[in-house]
A and B are shown apart, each in its own frame.
Chain A
Amino acid sequence: MEVNIKDVVVPGDVAVEIMKSSEKERVILGPGLRRDCDRVLVTKAGVLKRRKPAIFYVDSYQKRYVPNRGENVVGIVTQKAGDIYRVDIGAGELASLSYLAFEGATKKNRPDIVVGDVIFAKLLVASKGMEPELICVDSHGKKGKLGVLSPDGMLFDCSLSLARKLLHPSCQLLTLLAKEQAYEIAIGMNGKIWMKARSVHETIAACNAILAAENTPPAEMPALCSSIARNLLRIS
């Protein structure tokens, strides 16, 4: 069936508008779209979206993470095998993380990571046939925001679309939550979220707020945050 922008689409649909709009300019096909000769086919169920100038993608609900190069993910170290760590990032396969991929790490000076640690890392390699590879430094060898997350936080899973919703520049939830309490958070594109606030109560409350945000429209988010804060006051 032929579909247009903002339509609900299913795999196999033909996105006609993309071919029409793109006589001269380069078109970027995001997740959920693929090219077949000079047609563009939909491969995921969701809503077909467009971002200026010519970026098209399917906004879909998904829980299984498929690694993509350059994405930031939260993972759990599950194994130490020779000179690499195996990290569970929720993909079909465990990701590998070299012990040299940390700031200031050398062959003699290994990073202090044990099995069970939670890390925030960037995907360096992610292709269909190979195991994903993580890295905890940027191209300048600086760690930046990546690295081990402290063990007194809490890790929980959510859908990939919620992770995307939180990371969207127009999402106000994180700043609204910051007005109620101090916290730090690491949101992975793989739908794993690590959260730490001042106390266990606060951490759990903030986690609940984030999970509740999945089905909350942006307009109701201030109300959500204040109700969480009110509940916290009642407990303490």
Chain B
Amino acid sequence: MTAREVNKTKLSKGILEMKFMKRTKEKVEKQLFQEEGKEYFGAQLTNHMKKGSDKFIIEPSFVFCEGLLDGRVSFRGMNPEIERLMELEEEAKQALTRKQNETEITDEQMAKHYRSSAVDTMAKKFRTKHENKKYVRDDSIEIEPLEKKPKFLKPSD
């Protein structure tokens, strides 16, 4: 039985060369190629490759592990070029920390900001030319939104 099965899978070269066996031939060749590959590289697959996980990252340098500096420094005007670069780096670092520490703007600040700009601008839109002339901006007094024009009130009978 088994012998027959083996014979069945292994078709002779002569038959495979025939025109109507083209697709089977491709299949058989592919299988053969894979088996060869396994024979070649099976020995090189170590335990570690089979059991490998991506949990570990190998970092061969101390620079990253210890967070080391870059080692070129100058002090008290010995090399102005380097000192300028150091200053720029320091500024960049501080800007980064400042950005992190920045608190959210309070409602009060927001209101003040709007009062100084947006309210004024909008108010200007609704002022008449006559009012515009005599208008002087004064931050000390509380700006109130302009009153609406009194509407015509229908007299009640």
Contact = CB atoms under 8 A, between A and B. Distances in A.
B63 A189 contact: yes
Contacts of A35: 48, 56, 58
Contact of B57 (A26, A166, A174, A196): A26
A17 B32 CA distance: 47
A184 B73 contact: yes
A39 to B, nearest CB: 10
Interface in B61-77: 61-77
B90 to A, nearest CB: 13
A71 B66 contact: no
A184 B74 contact: yes
B51 interface: yes
A28 B59 contact: yes
Is the interface on chain B under 10, 10 to 19, 20 to 34, or 35 or more residues?
A: 20 to 34
A168 B79 contact: no
B55 interface: yes
B55 A26 contact: yes
B72 A31 contact: no
Contacts of A36: 48
Interface residues of A, number: 47
A144 B85 contact: yes
A70 B61 contact: yes
A167 B69 contact: yes
B2 interface: no
B65 A57 contact: yes
Contacts of A30: 59-62, 64-65
B11 interface: no
A32 B75 CA distance: 34
B78 interface: yes
Interface of A: 22, 26-31, 34-38, 40, 51, 55, 57, 68-72, 120, 144-146, 163-164, 166-169, 174-175, 177-178, 181-189, 196-198
Given A164-B62, A187-B71, 16 more contacts: A27-B55, A28-B56, A29-B56, A30-B62, A35-B56, A37-B51, A38-B51, A55-B59, A70-B63, A169-B69, A175-B75, A177-B75, A181-B76, A182-B76, A183-B76, A187-B72
26 contacts: A28-B56, A28-B59, A28-B65, A30-B60, A30-B64, A31-B59, A34-B58, A35-B48, A37-B47, A55-B59, A57-B62, A57-B65, A68-B60, A68-B61, A71-B61, A167-B66, A167-B70, A169-B69, A183-B76, A183-B78, A184-B79, A185-B72, A186-B71, A189-B62, A189-B63, A197-B78
Interface of B: 47-48, 51, 53, 55-79, 82, 85
